[in-house]
Amino acid sequence: MSHPTATSPAPWKPTFESHLEKVGGAGAEFTLATVSAKGLPHARTCIFRGFWATLPPNEHNELPKNPSIYGSDCPTFTTDARMVKTYDIFATGKGKGDLAQSRSGSGGGGPVEAVFWVKETMTQWRIRGKCWLVAAEDVEGGEEAQNSGTVTVKAEVGRYMRVKEGSNHAEKEKDWSWKLEVENYFENLSPMMRGTFKNPPPGQPLREGKDDSAGEGLGQKAGHLSDEPLARKNFRVCIITPEQVEAVDLTDPANCIRQVWTLAEEAGGPGGPQPSESLGEWNLVQTWP
């Protein structure tokens, strides 16, 4: 499979990352747009949780960590499998997942756009690509335990994971666990935030009540993901595999430009508008804002 940004970060990433640092880094708010099965737009606020495979340290986190051997250009966030965005991302993926599949485990692949307005640098970033959802429950285990969604997610996201330079890193790849990474994402949340994955079903009318026997309730805390069956069922790490990135810098009205980077066809991307300047696996076009 083609390998986007096999050896070095995407050309837009260092600037994007430095802008995010100005608005809290992991913790920055952004707007996530998805498309429904009926072709309608849905947008909502989410929180950036770092780039995949480089989860930032966190005071709440007591778990062992994966070896620090990968880098990626993939923004991540977390969500609840019972929310509309999860179904949107499954329904519009290649596999056209149904509602039951979207709630049962890893998969997805539908198109998303993530929009970050960084006022501090007067720059709007729009990250377009596919979104993949990872569940702790099915992402590892024997080949039989893995559904086709899991295999696809690992292959598609794996393309974007580059082994960092350094001795023995290739050897350590077998020690890197997807499940442990998902558990660490959960552990990075505050106990109160972890507890929200035991909320009654998001969007379900109040009059339908809640499942007390399953432990559903508002305002709960939660511990480790491995000790929380209900939260484990609902918790997802969402990974955006970027294919086109736009930045518009509005600092100087007389000098605004819009930069559009598109992943080249040879790297498995859409190629984008031409002519363009080739920057490794990405094609850059500068446009009027």
Ligand X SMILES: Cc1cc2nc3c(=O)[nH]c(=O)nc-3n(C[C@H](O)[C@H](O)[C@H](O)COP(=O)(O)O)c2cc1C
- Select the residue interacting with ligand X from 5, 76, 79, 152 (CB under 6 A): 79
Q: Output the six-digit token pair for 180.
A: 């442990």
Using CB under 6 A as the binding rule, whether residue 85 contacts ligand X is answered as yes
Burial of 284 (0-12, 13-18, 19+ CB in 10 A): middle
By C-beta, is 48 or 178 nearer to ligand X? Answer: 48
Using CB under 6 A as the binding rule, whether residue 274 contacts ligand X is answered as no
Among the candidate windows 53-61, 72-80, 122-130, 188-196, which touches ligand X by CB under 6 A? 72-80
- Select the residue interacting with ligand X from 45, 168, 213, 251 (CB under 6 A): 45
- Tell how far CA 221 is from the center of its chain: 24
The CA distance from 268 to 150, in Å, is: 20
Using CB under 6 A as the binding rule, whether residue 194 contacts ligand X is answered as no
Using CB under 6 A as the binding rule, whether residue 76 contacts ligand X is answered as no
Q: Cβ(133)–Cβ(153) under 8 Å?
A: yes
| DSSP string for residues in 30-72 | EEEEEE-TTS-EEEEEEE---BTT-PPP-TT--S----S-EE-
Using CB under 6 A as the binding rule, whether residue 205 contacts ligand X is answered as no
Using CB under 6 A as the binding rule, whether residue 44 contacts ligand X is answered as yes
Q: Cβ(236)–Cβ(79) under 8 Å?
A: yes
Instruction: Give the pairing type, strands 277-279 and 282-287.
Output: antiparallel
Among the candidate windows 74-82, 132-140, 211-219, 225-233, which touches ligand X by CB under 6 A? 74-82
SS3 14: helix
The CA distance from 238 to 19, in Å, is: 21
Using CB under 6 A as the binding rule, whether residue 186 contacts ligand X is answered as no
Among the candidate windows 83-91, 102-110, 149-157, 260-268, which touches ligand X by CB under 6 A? 83-91
Q: Whole-number minimum distance, CB 200 to ligand X, in Å? A: 14
Using CB under 6 A as the binding rule, whether residue 210 contacts ligand X is answered as no
Other CB atoms within 10 Å distance of the CB of residue 150: 22
Length of the chain: 289
By C-beta, is 84 or 230 nearer to ligand X? Answer: 84
By C-beta, is 29 or 211 nearer to ligand X? Answer: 29
Q: Which residues bind ligand X (CB under 6 A)?
A: 29, 42, 44-47, 77-79, 83-85, 202-203
